[in-house]
Structure 1
Amino acid sequence: MKQALPIISIVPDKRRTKDNNLYPLKLRITYKGERKYYSTGYETSLEDWKAMQERQVRGKLKSLLNSTNDVKIRAQHCCDTLSFFSYHAFEAAFFPKSVPTTSVLGAFEEYVDRLKKNGQVGTASSYQCACVSLHKFKPNLKFRHITVEFLKSYEQWFLSQGNSITTVSIYVRALRALVRIAIEDGIMDNLDYPFGKRKYVVPIGRNIKKALTVEEIGLIYNYEAEAGSMDEMSRDYWIFIYLCNGLNMKDLCLLKYKDIQGDFIAFQRAKTIVSRRSNSEPIRMAIKEDVKNTIEKWGQKPIHPDSYIFPWIKSEMSLEAQRLKIQLVVHLVNEHMKKIAKELGIDKPVTTYCARHSFATVLKNSGVSTEFISEALGHSSLKTTKNYLAGFENEAIHKNTDLLLQFKK
């Protein structure tokens, strides 16, 4: 018979094995047959956890046991004060005062769980990687440790491990987002905010965007591949992306037959569905003859409107399974495009993302307005598009300034 009162306990989360063989200690609440887990910000090995349960312990283990028991006692008290228990009521009453908010590890785990619930599994993975990296640099990191000096030391350490400036930028921006939340929740004082001018400035990754010239794109378009081969499929997908507003591979895999509306494909970017719900305007892509041919050649039969056009995603797949499948497709196409580029003598990284870059720069260099390109790419602002195009324009600058000396011809 299901119990009427919540049962509260502290348990190691064995679902999350870490590189250091430590397991997060979670607050587990069981109510009417349902269980929910909450981060405490603490972790330990299974051996130490067993020792803590079976015998008297001293030193660090005793301190850890006392801390986790304190979380359990406060959670029990919180439940006792509720006139009617529900997980929502418990979370609202307990977490403004809970231990995880002072722990960066706990804050990361809570935020990652939230991202996963929102379907943002890619972003969740990025935040999880940032959490692991920061924890390696400083175990048991607290928000009070995050200072300008800490951030500079972390950056130097991270780069000394052979990592890129782009990656440290991604990780530090994730940390910055959690610091802002901590300030909003009253965990940190705004005066202690370590980011910004004359403090710690998040580095900008040196990601040089390389687009292909129209002539190079023509070589790929006319590349003769064996019928039905992976080379042919990869070439066709690359041209499809180039012609369809430079959509990314995730959006390509998620296209459905109901998105085809006459001579256009209309869809919303998976990346912005969660973050921009108020802006429901879809991206519209013209169905050129080559786009139509790719759908007919590589697409599935349109059994019903909700059928995916391309055969990579299944309706029963979890979001994590979708992410892994899409990563596999990206890797597959990029490997074959690398081979094709080498055969054609194109000394550039011809990836699926390069197709997006090429779409934008060809239109820009042809005189198309930045406003049109921004809308076609699905950017949230013109500033984003201008930053995006900035890396493409060196060649155009040289070409256009050559006109200044045309009298020498």
Structure 2
Amino acid sequence: MRKKCFKEGMRAYIARLRREGHYSSAKSYQDALNSFNRFCGLSEIPYSYINKENLRLYQAYLLENGCAWNTVSTYMRRIRCVYNQAVESGEADYIPALFKKVFTGVESKRKKALSQGEMYRLMTVRVDDPKLYQAQLALCLMFLYGGMAFVDLAHLRASNFKEGILDYKRQKTGTQMRIEVPCAAIPMSKSLASIALSSSAYLYPFIDSMKTGEEGYKAYNAALASFNRNLKLLADAAGVISIVTSYTVRHSFATTLKELDVSIEMISELLGHKSIKTTQIYLKSFSLEKMSAVNKICFESVYNHVPKVG
């Protein structure tokens, strides 16, 4: 019986990810396959081709073509995952420390957060373009809703709000989040919701809930790209020269809290991170009242910011 080659194994795994609704992961594996295929230049890639020497050559190829170390790591980990599956099924040979000499870690880079002055200008600059005003409202709400990620903002429904409390699950991790809605968020939320798509069950006007599965995934990516373009235009209007994206907003929220001497545990809970979960096991959860107070302080410190004269 003929053994499968690496391409077949990778394609089978990509198909499985799509069936299970993991469209982002499926795209990541497809990107890795496309890249490795360009490097190999073979119609079929036997598992025996994946050896220590060829992996080192592939890493050099990626770096020579301008890939960042984190991209190298992502592609290597995708190849490793499929190769390990092939080892388990008997399609490939087990090779000790096969991926030891290539990078599969994470290169830490300090993300640039915006200053309070820059965030203030983004939040308060007068804009006449409806799309820029929409982006401005979304930016403010991301701050007011505890540094919420854009993907979670875009998927909120009216049913997530009840008696002044916002309950939702993070799209990325499934973490249950609970936030008291600050008073400043109410008029902004109403303004943004007033222009929501009539065909959508989502509260805000970013994506159409009628699209599901992979079409829904593509619709969200298009909405994110549009939001980031509008943030760039908003930054231009506000005279902010720093790069502004949906992630910048979330990172700036966390950095603002850090500069206000808020504990890392509180910041982590507000963001719904699991990166310090080991620490959180030994810590009592903060009360809703305390998180609400800190959330309010964070927003008001930026929204009521008074620029320095001179």
TM-score range, shorter chain: 0.7 to 0.9
Equivalent position SS for 2:167: strand
Residue 308 of structure 1, CA deviation: 1.3
Distance, in Å, in 1 between the alignment partners of 2:245 and 2:59 is 29
Could you tell me whether the CA contact under 8 Å between 2:127 and 2:237 is conserved in 1? no
Equivalent position SS for 2:27: helix
Higher RCO (CA 8 Å, separation ≥ 6 residues): 2
Aligned residue number for residue 170 of structure 1? 74
Q: Normalising by structure 2, what TM-score?
A: 0.79
Could you tell me whether the CA contact under 8 Å between 1:167 and 1:205 is conserved in 2? no
Distance, in Å, in 2 between the alignment partners of 1:221 and 1:107 is 49
The structure carrying a bigger strand percent of its residues is 1
Residue 191 of structure 1, CA deviation: 4.0
Distance, in Å, in 2 between the alignment partners of 1:315 and 1:221 is 28
**1:259/1:194 CA distance change after superposition, 3 Å:** same
Asked if 1:150 corresponds to 2:54, the answer is: yes
Identify which of 111, 116, 119 aligns with 1:214.
Answer: 116
**1:295/1:187 CA distance change after superposition, 3 Å:** same
Residue 286 of structure 1, CA deviation: 3.0
Distance, in Å, in 1 between the alignment partners of 2:214 and 2:276 is 32
Aligned residue number for residue 248 of structure 1? 149
Identify which of 157, 161, 175 aligns with 2:65.
Answer: 161
Could you tell me whether the CA contact under 8 Å between 1:264 and 1:285 is conserved in 2? yes
Q: What residue identity is the alignment partner of 1:250?
A: V
Distance, in Å, in 2 between the alignment partners of 1:157 and 1:299 is 48
Deviation string, structure 1 residues 251-270 (Cα, Å, up to 9, x no partner): 22211111113222111122
**Bigger Rg, which one:** 1
**1:300/1:181 CA distance change after superposition, 3 Å:** farther
Asked if 1:382 corresponds to 2:276, the answer is: yes
Deviation string, structure 1 residues 141-197 (Cα, Å, up to 9, x no partner): 23322222222211111222333333222211211222333333344454434123x
Could you tell me whether the CA contact under 8 Å between 2:142 and 2:148 is conserved in 1? yes
Equivalent position SS for 2:178: strand
Asked if 1:290 corresponds to 2:191, the answer is: no
Q: Which runs of 4+ in 1 moved over 6 A?
A: none
Residue 224 of structure 1, CA deviation: 0.9
Distance, in Å, in 1 between the alignment partners of 2:278 and 2:154 is 25
Q: Normalising by structure 1, what TM-score?
A: 0.61
Distance, in Å, in 2 between the alignment partners of 1:378 and 1:187 is 40
Asked if 1:267 corresponds to 2:161, the answer is: no
Q: Matched residue pairs, number? A: 275
**1:190/1:247 CA distance change after superposition, 3 Å:** farther
Could you tell me whether the CA contact under 8 Å between 1:231 and 1:340 is conserved in 2? yes
List alignment gaps of at least 5 residues for structure 2: 280-310
Equivalent position SS for 1:359: helix
Could you say what the CA RMSD is over the residues aligned between the two structures, in angstroms?
A: 2.7
Equivalent position SS for 1:336: helix
